[in-house]
Amino acid sequence: MRGASLQVMLWERAREPHAHRWSLPGGGLRVDEDVETSIRRQLTEKVDVRQLSHVEQLAVFSAPDRVPGPRVVATAFLGLVPSDADPERPSDTEWHCVDTLPPMAFDHASIVHRARHRLASKLSYTNLGFALAPPEFTISLLRDHYSAALGYRVSATNLQRVLSRRLLLEPTGGTAPPGPSGGRPAALFRFSAKGIKVTDPFAVLRPPGSGRPAGGSGTT
């Protein structure tokens, strides 16, 4: 999360094929490592991302023509960085909004879209919001995070109701500093657990006015 938008870290290719297009960080698999170890190593080495709050395998991309030349099969991972983290990055690496991607190399745009869909789906029926949020947050900040990830505006009141009913939120007892206009300080919350778990297997978060979701209880 950067501001109120969901972002993906991309690096600009310096060489052909697809020189000066943007791509996802990645690389080859060493003989002595599994794929998750490989992606964590490459994120650390190439773009200095060490604070992954969640990582999971997304999909295998194996179209014969996905890259020029010899066939390359890619295993993609969804990795989430909490919004309060700000990893250093080299000059050829930038955060980009997933809604306005720059010209992308190979099939990497489709990988980003697949990851965004996975994230939105899991926010419906798991506690995965913990991986986007800072350790303590206001409900309005959490609402902004969910809205950006889902791609539509979420009601803060309904979001708090749904997550509280699932026993995912707990008050810290503290409050956020007042804003420029003053007013009552907003209460601070945290997620009750940081490991991912299924909280409502039948819930589907949908935009307001799109009808009651299957399973009933998860709409915001």
Question: pLDDT at position 4, please?
Answer: 85
Domain 135-220, CATH: 1.10.10.10
**pLDDT for position 2:** 86
Domain 7-122 has CATH 3.10.129.10: no
Domain ranges of the chain: 7-122, 135-220
The burial class, CB within 10 Å (0-12 / 13-18 / 19+), for 154 is: buried
* Average pLDDT per consecutive 10 residues, the chain (220 residues; last block may be shorter): 91 93 90 88 79 91 93 92 86 94 97 97 95 95 95 94 95 86 85 91 73 45
Count CA within 13 A, CB hemisphere, residue 202: 6
Of 139, 169, 164, the residue nearest 154 (C-alpha): 139
Task: Note whether 58 and 119 are within 8 A (CB).
Answer: no
Q: What is the pLDDT of residue 182?
A: 65
Per-residue model confidence (pLDDT) at position 103:
97
CA Rg value for the chain: 19
